[in-house]
Amino acid sequence: MFSTALRPDDSPVAGPSDAPEAAAPRTYMVRTLGCQMNVHDSEHMAGMLEQAGYTRAEAADEAAHRADVVVINTCAVRENAATRLYGNLGQLASIKAKRPGMQIAVGGCLAQKDRSGIVEKAPWVDVVFGTHNLDALPVLLERARHNEAAQVEIAESLQVFPSTLPTKRESVYAGWVSISVGCNNTCTFCIVPHLRGKERDRRPGQVLAEVQALVDQGAIEVTLLGQNVNSYGVEFGDRGAFAKLLRACGEIEGLERVRFTSPHPAAFTDDVIAAMAETPNVMPQLHMPLQAGSDRILRAMRRSYRSEKFLGILDRVREAMPDASITTDLIVGFPGETEEDFAETLRVVEASRFSSAFTFQYSQRPGTPAATLPDQLPKEVVQERYERLQALQDRVSAEESARQVGRTVEVLVTEGSGRKDGATHRLTGRAADNRLVHLAVPDDVVTLMAGRADGDVLADDPRLADDLDPRLPRPGDMVTVEVTRSAPYHLVADSAVAGATGIGGTGTYSVRRTRSGDAWVAREKTRLGGGDDHGHSHGAPAAGGPVSLGLPSLRRP
């Protein structure tokens, strides 16, 4: 354990609280930078703070960083990670100067990497904690207040498996479930294994118990998380464990959608493809990181597969699930990449027909083998290749989206909305293949949705009514619509609207009520001051305490 207490003389000091016992609870906000694993870690941080008596700041206060405790959960994967962190901390310095007692905490991968250097650069930070000791956050905050000194505590190995911690779920209809932490791969561009450690797998019964707990509280969608999710089971000696886990999720009553991210092509086996195709609630969607199409570059990256193996996996996935949507990660400008290497990436991307891709320009990460490789490419070369690759993927995505026009899809309605949905009165959600869909409601339902797009749910919101209009969906409900037009990275379904653009006006529109929609209503009524709390707290009671993980009850044929 690396632990220090720091407070340079010229930094702001947050003194011990002298507030009366009856004072309102201290408020908190958590800002997340980075991947899905970080998003889920932030849910754990929020759960621990609420268990310790903090309450989440109101949305307007969060937007202005007006909270008693501001936690930044950092990422260290990209080159601009530190720039983003210190930019955020610079903004917080002036806010903190005007808020006596305010505390700032920094956690996550960059905290694990930079340690006490964060307080040295930003002496107004109160707490720094790493990826291996999330559970220490409330104690470190209290210690920093009591000691009037910054607390930096970085564990060298995992102290408590994060999934055993209290969790404040962001959504009532969908949830993340970690099946493993850490990674055993040695990709030369990646710093994650150094910061998150070797892979550690949870037992299947623990994973399924957490999934069951989520379903019991109203969730109908779960995403299984791991740095290398399909190598699950290696630690306890069962290389077929991931496929078995997918099939077991299919036995959980009420669980309608199962997703997972991210697999590694080298360990992606046909038993996983079969489990996906044969388990009805495992969705026809796959995120399969390619990184590069050149075998020479893949070898330099220590990616233990080659382009033809990768394309073979996609062929077998589509043979088993013809409508599968496949996405990927790509890196442009890896050290030594030639124009011929880049042409191979373009070839494989063209052949792969990805629905979308997360495309990155290579950046040197100190501590990774690739950072010291010769032939680092000039910025202008990387930028030009990046733009060519992005243009290709934009075209492919547009073509793949266009193939969806005319299809009937079932959309899980989400709480967020698109940029223009407020003006068009559309709702937003995800189809089974995870494509983003903006859908219209019937003309005579539009008036019921007035004010919806501002994000506020008020007591007179028609979605909370006991006599709910059967055509008005709530977040968490399912809506069946027909896709009427497409864009590269979203679909539009105006089939409910007469005279809609394209083939709209077909009348295809139906709402299916779900337990998730019921749970959303219960949560909002509780927030507004009435009803019972059915929000997610990791399967725990409303107080947000930890849950005892046992074997779930499974539905048998």
Give the CATH number of the domain where residue 63 resides: 3.40.50.12160
Q: Is 249 annotated as a binding residue?
A: no
Query: Is residue 457 included in any domain, yes or no?
Result: no
138/126 Cα distance (integer angstroms): 12
CATH number for the domain spanning 204: value is 3.80.30.20
Residues 387 and 437 in one domain: no
Residues 215 and 359 in one domain: yes
- The phi, psi pair for 407, rounded to 5°, reads -80, 145
- The phi, psi pair for 416, rounded to 5°, reads -75, 165
pTM above 0.85?
Answer: no
403/401 Cα distance (integer angstroms): 5
Kindly state the tokens that stand for 435: 């494509």
Which parts of the chain sit beneath pLDDT 70?
A: 1-23, 78-79, 159, 450-455, 498-505, 530-557
557/549 Cα distance (integer angstroms): 24
Residues 311 and 448 in one domain: no
Q: What is the pLDDT of residue 79?
A: 65
Q: What is the pLDDT of residue 553?
A: 33
Strand ranges (E), 155-229: 174-178, 180-181, 200-201, 221-225
Residues 325 and 242 in one domain: yes
Query: Is residue 545 included in any domain, yes or no?
Result: no
Q: Is 75 annotated as a binding residue?
A: yes
- The phi, psi pair for 488, rounded to 5°, reads -55, -40
Q: Is 190 annotated as a binding residue?
A: yes
CB-CB contact of 493 with 481 (8 Å):
yes
The pairs formed by 158-162 with CB atoms below 8 angstroms and a separation of 24 or more are 158/132, 158/182, 158/197, 158/200, 159/132, 159/133, 159/135, 160/133, 160/134, 160/135, 161/200, 161/202, 162/40, 162/41, 162/44, 162/134
Query: Is residue 209 included in any domain, yes or no?
Result: yes
Domain span at 351? 169-403
Kindly state the tokens that stand for 346: 């373009």
